[in-house]
Amino acid sequence: MSWFTKVKKPLEAIALRKRIPEGVWRKCESCKEIIYSIELERNFNVCSKCGHHHRISAESRIKLLIDENTFKEEDEGLVPVDPLKFRDSRKYKDRISDAQKKTGNKEAIIAGSGLIENRPVEIAAFNFDFMGGSMGSVVGEKVTRTFERALSNKRPAIVVSCSGGARMQEGLFSLMQMAKTAAAVGRLSKAGLPYISVLVDPVTGGVTASFAMLGDIIVAEPGALICFAGPRVIEQTIGKKLPEGFQRSEFLLQHGFVDIVVNRLELKSTIALLLDHMCGQIVCPLPEPEQDEEAEAGPEEQAL
């Protein structure tokens, strides 16, 4: 038998396997279990076997949190520019247009207004797929405007952060977004309006160290990496391996920097409940118990 005839068989097998359309099955990043894609999506990308929270896009995040057909996008026209004419191995401009093509978004964040179980809110959600959700001028501006809309419309603000931090390619302009957004949180807070910061895997650097850590209430999804300096940087600095679970949501909860860790599927109802507690209608004074009820109860009690 010649070498060439031998090769034929496995080729056929590959061709056969290819008949199954791509993307029907997905492997869980944590437990490696093979899951039916549609099932995973229906579960908002939470693994039904191990509960691992896979990353979701900004659009899916809005869909998860905002009542159907109530989301109205704002500031979608804001696009990044290249003030530094930044270029490393590639031009910043090219990186932007690649990210825009890849995600269909103009920037790493979507902002707007909508209802959460009928409660009007201003919301912004990061898209990690757009340059690691990094914060440049546009992201900083959209976050700031979200707080400002909340302020002028007297509504709660919700920001779902998922970001690698400040965007290097915009240099100090990016850094200044930290101060700009932090100051905007301060103005909202002074007006007595609530801000819920939702942290999802990962939130690092300049985003953690500004508005993300300044929520009246900070909610985190399970297992999310939330830190100032990333684990690799710390390992390099201290020359030691970091323990399992370091800088994860549960670790921050334990150290007092997160209020609650909430499963993605309960995120919406939890936020709705929190909003009620902070700014739901106040019924005051509490209604007196009805007279006749008391009269009825009276003799029965005596009889007992």
Partner 1 sequence: MAVNYLDFEEPIVDLEAKIDELRELSGKDGVDFTSEIKKLHRKVNRLRKDTFSKLTPWQRTRLARHQLRPYALDYINHMTTGFVELHGDRLFGDGVSIVGGFARFEGQSVMVIGQQKGRDLKERSFRNFGMAHPEGYRKAVRLMKLAEKFNRPIITLLDTPGAYPGVGAEERGQSEAIARSMMEMAVLRVPVICVVIGEGGSGGALALGVGNRMLMMENAVYSVITPEGCAAILWKSCDKLEEASEALRLTARDLLGFGLIDEIVKEPLGGAHRDPVATASILRRAIRRNLEHFRDLSPEAIVSHREKKFREMGVFA
User: Which one of the spans 78-86, 262-270, 276-284, 294-302 is the region binding partner 1 (CB under 8 A)?
Assistant: 78-86
Smallest separation, CB 88 to partner 1 (Å):
4
- Rule CB under 8 A: choose which of 120, 180, 270, 279 binds partner 1: 180
* Per-residue CA distances from 143 to 108, 207, 211 (Å): 11, 11, 9
Residue nearer to partner 1 on the CB measure, 243 or 299: 243
Residue 96 sits in the site that holds partner 1 (CB under 8 A)? no
**How many residues bind partner 1, per CB under 8 A?**
59
Burial letters for 148-180: b for 16+ Cβ neighbours within 10 Å, e otherwise? ebbbeeebbbbbbbbbbbbbbbbeebbbebbee
Residue 64 sits in the site that holds partner 1 (CB under 8 A)? no
- Rule CB under 8 A: choose which of 87, 102, 154, 277 binds partner 1: 87
Alpha-carbon radius of gyration of the chain: 25
Query: CB–CB of 224/203 below 8 Å?
Result: yes
Alpha carbons within 13 A on the beta-carbon side of 144: 17
Smallest separation, CB 241 to partner 1 (Å):
11
Q: Quick one: CA dihedral 253, 258, 262, 263, positive or negative?
A: negative
Smallest separation, CB 138 to partner 1 (Å):
5
Residue 49 sits in the site that holds partner 1 (CB under 8 A)? no
Residue 247 sits in the site that holds partner 1 (CB under 8 A)? yes
Q: Quick one: CA dihedral 88, 160, 227, 206, positive or negative?
A: positive
- Rule CB under 8 A: choose which of 56, 157, 160, 209 binds partner 1: 209
Residue 179 sits in the site that holds partner 1 (CB under 8 A)? yes
Q: What is the DSSP letter of 290?
A: P
Q: Which of 117, 120, 107, 218 is nearest to 161 (CA)?
A: 218
Residue 78 sits in the site that holds partner 1 (CB under 8 A)? yes
Q: Which residues bind partner 1 (CB under 8 A)?
A: 78-81, 83-84, 86-89, 136-138, 140-141, 144, 166-168, 170-180, 182-187, 190, 205-206, 208-214, 227-229, 233-234, 237-238, 242, 246-247, 255-257
